[in-house]
Amino acid sequence: MFPPTRIRSCLPVINPMFRRMRPHKPFRQTIHNQTKNVHNGFNTTNLQKTKWMNFRAIFTRWMPLGSVIYVGWCYIRASVNYELSKVEIKFYEMFPFRITSRLWGKLASCELPIPIRSFVYGTYIRMFNVNINDAAVTDLTYYKSLSAFFTRALRDGARYISPAACVSPCDGVVLNCGPADTDKIEQVKGVTYSLEEFLGENKWSKTKDISYYNSLLKNKNNILHQCIIYLAPGDYHRFHSPCDWTSNFRRHFSGKLLSVNPWLARLIPGLFTINERAVYIGEWKHGFFSMTAVGATNVGSIEIYSDPHLRTNTKGKRNRIDELEMHKATFKKGELFGQFNMGSTIILLFEAPADFKFELNAGERVLVGQALTTATKEFSR
């Protein structure tokens, strides 16, 4: 028999020999490497699982990824004129756009360091084709925050105010314009919204009529006309009074903040009756006149210069309605009216003779002060 000391001295030679005699197990090396990584603190498999399977991943990974996929899917379906189902619309409405818009508002109002302002605003200008030459101040370092840059003022003479009776209140793209002779009004071609749901109960008019539509008209020979203008993120974000008129009533609907992008407006019927909006109602020379600022995703703040009491996208129930008597606040054509943060929509709904015709067509771009009718365009020449 070999002494124990001699056996121990032979082990370094014997052990490799026995290893060669073991059956081949190709996965053994993989397991060995994983075990080694665990001992070293680098378990890559478990690390990947923790990134996607913990509670935090719902908000940091799954929700953003799901939102991008869903919005992309909506865009594809819109391109083939597919109408969304009620279930899909409800799913989209469930996303907390009011919370994200408030967070975006806080982020946009943060003061940026001067050295990075030119880079941040310059990137935004290139992404959204902003015409900075129309701004009152073209030095990008002047704007302390993104919010200040979004709501920049125009330089004097940047816009010509036409002598027309009614002009464009903002820069943007016309979604729809024309007569609105029924209670159902087109928000875009083939997609409608309810006039009564949009304006709410008629408390401002002394005229009582069974028909909601007729209760708005001062002259029964007239009809209602509408003009919907979408402000893109790269547009000038302030809006002006489109004519000489008097407002005596304001109604604020605290609704949702869904996107009002034109392709999405084609998918969701009654989009403008769902979203948060500030409706200003009064009269102009032909009778009833209303101007509505509609909120949208990331547009948590709608500011009206003559109405400091207005507070939009506040915490609380989304079906709240706030009303205010304006006591005949007068506005002159071209006068500054309010401003948005990011893009949104302005809707003009007014009474005029039946032969009142818009010069504009859906899809055309307009600028502040541009004439809206053929007759006034000829007059301005």
DSSP assignments along 48-107, one per residue: HHHHHHSHHHIIIIIHHHHHHHHHHHHHHHHHTTPPPPHHHHHHHHTS-HHHHHHHHHHH
Burial letters 68-84, b for 16+ CB under 10 A, else e: eeeeeebeeebeeeeeb
Read off the pTM. Answer: 0.74
* pLDDT-derived band at 59, boundaries 50, 70, 90: low
Tens digit of pLDDT for each residue in 19-29? 544 554 444 44
Is 240 assigned a catalytic role? yes
- Which residue, chain included where needed, has tokens 């205010």? 324
Report the run of H or E that residue 164 belongs to, with start and end. none
Cα 270 from Cα 275, distance rounded (Å) = 9
Q: Is the pLDDT of residue 377 over 90?
A: no
Model confidence at 249: pLDDT above 50: yes
- What is the reported pLDDT for 50? 64
Structure tokens belonging to residue 185: 């009004």
Q: Active-site residue 252, yes or no?
A: no
pLDDT tens digit string along 164-179?
999 999 999 998 888 8
pLDDT value of position 273: 87
pLDDT category at 368 given cuts 50, 70, 90 is very high
Report the percentage of the chain scoring pLDDT > 90.
Answer: 33
Q: Which residues pair with 256 in a beta bridge?
A: 275
| 337-344 mean pLDDT | 84
Query: Residues 81-103: what's their mean pLDDT?
Result: 69
Amino acid at 339: Q
Contact yes or no for 83/74 (Cβ under 8 A): no
List 147, 168, 254, 344, catalytic entry = 344
Q: What is the spatial distance between Cα 307 and Cα 167, in angstroms, rounded to a whole number? A: 22
244 carries an active-site annotation: no
Which uninterrupted H or E stretch holds 4?
A: helix 4-21
Q: Please state, in angstroms and rounded to a whole number, the distance separating the CA atoms of residues 269 and 184.
A: 11
Selecting among 240, 259, 290, 307, the annotated active-site residue is: 240
**Is 90 exceeded by the pLDDT of residue 48?**
no
User: What is the pLDDT at residue 233?
Assistant: 85
Residue 83: per-residue pLDDT: 56
Among 172-176, 232-236, 242-246, 310-314, the least confident range? 310-314
Instruction: Kindly name the residue from 101, 162, 171, 225 that is annotated as catalytic.
Output: 171
